[in-house]
Amino acid sequence: MSDLTRRDFLKLTTTALLTISGALGVGALFRFLDFQTEPPVKTEFDLGPAVNYPIGSRSLVPDVPALLIHNQNGFSALSLVCTHLGCTVEQKDSGFECPCHGSRYDANGKVLRGPAQKALRALRVEVNSTGNLILHTD
Amino acid sequence: MKRFIALGSAILLLAVVAAWWTNSRQPKPIVLIPTLTGKPEYCLTCHSDLREISPSHPVKTFGCVICHGGEPLALDANLAHSTMRGGANPSDLSVVQESCGGSNCHSGSAADNNDHIQRVMTSVQSTYAGAIANILYTFGVEPDLTARFGIHAVTDDVITTTTGLPALQVFDPTKQTNPSVLKFAANCLNCHINAQPLPGSQFDRLTGCAACHTPDVESFPKGQIHELTTAIPYTQCNTCHNRGNYDLRTMTFVQRTDQPLPTDRLHNYYQPIAQFTKCEYTLDCIDCHTRTEAMGDGDIHSNMKQIQYIQCQTCHGTPTQLPQTKTLTDPNDIAFRLAQLNPVVDLKLGDTILVTSKGEPLWNTRVLPDGTYQLVGKATGQVFTFKPVMGSGCTQNGIDQSSAYCHTCHSVQR
ipTM: 0.78
Q: Residue A29: which domain range?
A: 1-35
Q: Among candidates B175, B124, B168, which has minimal Cα distance to B148? A: B168
In this structure, the answer to whether residues A68 and A24 fall within a common structural domain is no
Amino acid at B305: K
Burial readout B328-367 (b: 16 or more C-beta within 10 A, e: otherwise): beeeebebbbbbbbbebbebeeebebbbbeeebbbbbbbb
Q: State whether A30 and A97 are in the same domain.
A: no
Substitution target from A35, A80, A87, A117 for chain B, most B beta carbons within 10 A: A87
Q: Are residues A77 and A26 in the same domain?
A: no
Interchain proximity B9–A21, CB inside 8 Å: yes
Residues of A in contact with B2 (CB under 8 A): 11, 14
Judgement on whether residues A90 and A120 belong to the same structural domain of the protein: yes
Kindly state whether residues A102 and A68 are assigned to the same domain: yes
Phi, psi at B18, each rounded to 5°: -65, -40
| Contact present, B304 and B310 (Cβ < 8 Å) | no
Give me the DSSP letters along A79-100.
Answer: E-B-TTT-PBPEEETTEEE-TT
* Residue A48's CATH number: 2.102.10.10
**Domain total of chain A:** 2
Instruction: Kindly indicate the confidence band of residue B222, based on its pLDDT and cuts at 50, 70 and 90.
Output: low
Q: Nearest C-alpha of chain A: how many angstroms from B308?
A: 27
- The 10s digit of each residue's pLDDT in B286-308 is 999 999 999 999 999 999 999 98
- Cα distance between residue A38 and residue B381, in whole Å: 45
- Do A70 and A106 belong to one domain? yes
**Mean of per-residue pLDDT scores for chain B:** 89
Same domain flag for A108 and A83: yes
B70, HSE (Cβ side, Cα atoms, 13 Å): 26
Pairwise CB contact (< 8 Å): B73 & A37? yes
For B51-108, write each residue's pLDDT tens digit: 899 999 999 999 999 999 999 999 989 999 999 999 889 999 999 999 998 777 898 8
- The verdict on A73 and A106 lying in the same domain is yes
B58/B223: higher pLDDT: B58
The 3-state DSSP class for residue A124 equals strand
pLDDT in tens, A79-92: 999 999 999 999 98
In this complex, the residue of B2, B12, B104 whose CB is nearest that of residue A21 is B12
Same domain, A90 and A62: yes
Distance CA B331, CA B114 (A): 17
- In this predicted model, what pLDDT tens digit does every residue of B344-374 receive, in sequence order? 999 999 999 999 999 999 999 999 999 899 9
Q: How many other C-beta atoms lie within 10 A of the C-beta of residue B50?
A: 16
Residues A16, A64, single domain; the answer is no
- The single-letter DSSP state of residue B198 is P
Residues A52 and A112 in one domain: yes
**Pairing label, strands B252-255, B244-247:** antiparallel
Cβ <8 Å between B61 and A100: yes
pLDDT at B6 over 70: no
Contacts of A84 in chain B (CB under 8 A): 104
Query: Which of A9, A11, A15, A18 to mutate: most B Cβ within 10 Å?
Result: A18
Quickly state the pLDDT bin for B200 (edges 50, 70, 90). confident
**How far apart (Å, rounded) are the C-alpha atoms in residues B259 and B255?**
9
Residues of A in contact with B58 (CB under 8 A): 87, 100
B260 in helix, strand or coil?
Answer: coil
Domain residue spans of chain B: 18-84, 116-295, 310-390+398-409
DSSP secondary structure code for residue B80 in this structure: H
Of B237, B334, B251, whose CA–CA distance to B287 is shortest? B237
Which range in B4-8, B256-260, B407-411 is most confidently predicted, on average pLDDT?
B407-411
Q: Please indicate, yes or no, whether residues A28 and A63 belong to a single structural domain of this protein.
A: no
Query: What is d(CA B80, CA B190) in angstroms, rounded to the nearest whole number?
Result: 31
Residue of A nearest to B17 (CA): A24
Q: Which residue of A has its CA nearest to B36?
A: A86
Q: Tell me how far apart the alpha carbons of residues B274 and A127 are, in angstroms, rounded to a whole number.
A: 74
